[in-house]
Structure 1
Amino acid sequence: SSARGVVLVMHQMGSHGPAYFKRTPADHKPFQPECQSNTLSDCPRDQLVNAYDNTIAYTDHFLDLALQWLKDRSERGANDTGLIYVSDHGESLSENGLYLHGVPYALAPSQQTRVPMVAWLSPAMQAREGISLDCLRQRAHHAMSHDHFFHTVLGLMDVQTSAHEPSLDAWLPCRSS
């Protein structure tokens, strides 16, 4: 029943290479010229970066549409709505001769291991959870890993399970409830 809430998980191809040029529609390619090859080492670096940046711009567009949809639902009375976006990994675009991703974590360059996270919570969700936006903003530059994501979402949704490790709930210090 939707009275208990709905969780929607979306996965997109986003910025996964090597075919960056295939990840965006023709009308969403602000950076030109772009690499049009799967063999990334054959492309001039500026064209490779343009193709990758087009995927980032399109992801931004996609997130904007999702956020507007959630805000609309929130304004129409949907109780708790929120969006959390995090990339699964970064990409190397020829730095040190590396392309794509997949280098073992201990050896991987920061281009593969540092990824963005974006979050938006409706006023109702902020109020229910006692979330301090000022606290979240202050903590935005604290180091986190994907290990935190699962436990943060469990905490945010009030899921009671022995699998939840509060020490890995990145937003716990910003909740008053």
Structure 2
Amino acid sequence: MIYMSDHGESLGENGLCLHGAPYMFAPTEQTHVPFVLWVSPGLRQSSGIDTSCLAANAEAAHSHDNLFHSVLGLMQVKTQVLDPALDIFAACRTGAHS
């Protein structure tokens, strides 16, 4: 299960209640969006995902650009459009990291 919000939201922090401030002025609450991942035991086994590796990299910065390529990689879709550099799970597949 993957959840990634499409935008952040100011909910009264610093007197702001909105989500459309220009990026260069937007507070962190608007520019940092949640990304939640749950990997079932079956997917963990079939994909070779090391969840301790994922946990160790949980605070790494990613963007919406990563979502498409990460889902393709996680589902083991063989296609030329997959950019492994944008697959956030690539380094955490069994044998992919040391």
TM bin (shorter chain): 0.7 to 0.9
Q: Distance in 2 between matches of 1:106 and 1:166?
A: 29
Q: Percent of counterpart pairs with the same letter?
A: 54
User: TM-score, normalized by length of structure 1?
Assistant: 0.50
Question: Post-superposition shift, 1:140?
Answer: 0.4
Partners of 1:118 and 1:160 lie apart in 2 by 25
Look up the match of 1:137.
55
Residue of structure 2 equivalent to 1:36: none
| CA drift at 1:92 | 1.1
SS of the residue corresponding to residue 38 of structure 2 reads strand
Which structure's relative contact order is higher, taking Cα pairs within 8 Å and 6+ residues apart?
2
Q: 5+ unaligned residues in a row in structure 1: which ranges?
A: 1-82
Misfit runs of 4+, over 4 Å: none
RMSD, matched Cα: 1.6
TM-score (norm 2): 0.85
**Count of residues in Structure 1 that have an aligned counterpart in Structure 2:** 95
In structure 1, C-alpha distance between the alignment counterparts of 2:59 and 2:27, rounded to whole Å: 19
1:159 is matched with which residue?
77
Instruction: Report deviation, 1:147.
Output: 1.1
Q: Structure 1 residue 119 and structure 2 residue 22: aligned?
A: no
Give the Å deviation of 1:108: 1.6
Alignment of 1:9-28 (within 5 A): none
Structure 2 unaligned runs (5+)? Answer: none
Cα distance, 1:106 vs structure 2: 2.9
Give the Cα–Cα distance (whole angstroms) in 1 for the partners of residues 33 and 49 of structure 2.
23
State the AA in 2 paired with 1:174: C
